[in-house]
Amino acid sequence: MEGGRPRLRLAQNQTGNLSRLRNAVCRVSSEPAQRASGSFRARGSGFRTEMVRLQKFLADAGVASRRTGEKIILAGRVEVNGQVARVLGTKIDPEHDRVCVEGTPVKSRRKLYIALNKPRGYICSRNDPGQRRAVGDLLPREWSNLYPVGRLDYESEGLIFLTNDGEFCLRLAHPRYGIRKKYLATVKGRVELRTLSQLTRGVVHEGEKLKAEKARLLSANNSHSVVELELAEGKYREVRRLFESQGLSVSNLRRTQIGRIKLGELRPGRWRTLTEPEIKTLLSDSGRSSRAISDEH
């Protein structure tokens, strides 16, 4: 005992992997327990990073969903700095506290947010069993846990985000949050202004309602036209289907902006990390602050 409190110790020589940890969810107890609040801090840490709830830490590390993480905690299968943590709502310092599930250490995953200019001829996936080129092939091998936010079809190019933050992905990709995206479409033939007016009013294509929030004609001649569109939902192949509904075909499509983040001078196949202000801007555009997302549940 130190100062009347149990001495904290770190688990040593523990090995394992996520498969072993995930297997724990099949053996959790259903005994009732009350919610309460508490916190841990590793001994000897010189400073404190942002505290997060234990079940969120487990979810971010890929061990289990938050609800399943709660069951594991209630079953007494989670230790923080050598102490069993049974209290839901317990907060930890992910940089300094030692978390184990059934004796297996759980490592904090640093969250990454990448902006990439997807070239044509790549699928929006980490890899492809069919041996097609995937956007994951353009990133360092150690970032194999990143996944695309939303989609951009095989023949299209332009701005996409990749991340290992599931909640960030949800906030940006789900239509209900209304993150707007801009596209430059090269369309075969001449596009009339009345056509763009129809696209902003909404059309039905193959039984589905499609709509552009904005549409602007940048140039037009008898061979092709260039149109800038802004969409709020991003349904499957929505830009191409909008023009198909009017008997037109898109020959080239590039996404130029997501929220307030622009593609800029990023060349095809190249990537960069999003800055903290950019991340906060995107979260703000989705109608929720970054702090609320990082600390919920």
Name beta bridge partners: 203. 210
- Among candidate residues 153, 165, 285, 295, the one labeled active-site is 153
Evaluated on CA atoms 278, 283, 289, 292, the torsion sign reads negative
pLDDT in tens, 10-45: 333 333 444 455 444 444 433 333 334 455 554 443
pLDDT at residue 35, as a whole number: 39
Structurally, at CATH architecture level, domain 18-106 sits in Roll (3.10)
Residue 49: predicted pLDDT: 53
**Cα angle value 247/248/253 (rounded, 5°):** 150
Gap between the terminal Cα atoms of the chain: 32
Asked if residue 111 lies in contact with residue 162, where contact means CB atoms within 8 angstroms, the answer is no
Spatial separation of the C-alpha atoms in residues 241 and 287, rounded to whole Å? 28
Res 210: pLDDT = 96
Residues in the chain: 297
How is domain 113-285 classified at the CATH fold level? Pseudouridine synthase (3.30.2350)
List, for residues 45-72, the tens digit of each pLDDT value.
334 456 888 988 887 777 777 788 899 9
Domain boundaries, the chain: 18-106, 113-285
Q: 207 Cβ partners below 8 Å, 6+ apart? A: none
**165 in active site:** no
| Amino acid at position 160, single letter | I
Are the folds of 18-106 and 113-285 the same? no
Mean pLDDT is lowest, of 130-144, 189-203, 261-275, for 130-144
For β-strands 99-101 and 104-106, DSSP reports them as antiparallel
Average confidence (pLDDT) over 91-101: 88
- What average pLDDT does the segment 112-128 reach? 93
Report the share of the chain in percent with pLDDT over 90: 56
Question: Which DSSP helix (H) or strand (E) runs through 18?
Answer: helix 18-23
pTM over 0.85: no
- Name the H helices within 207-256: 238-244
Query: For residue 186, what are its two tokens?
Result: 């090269």
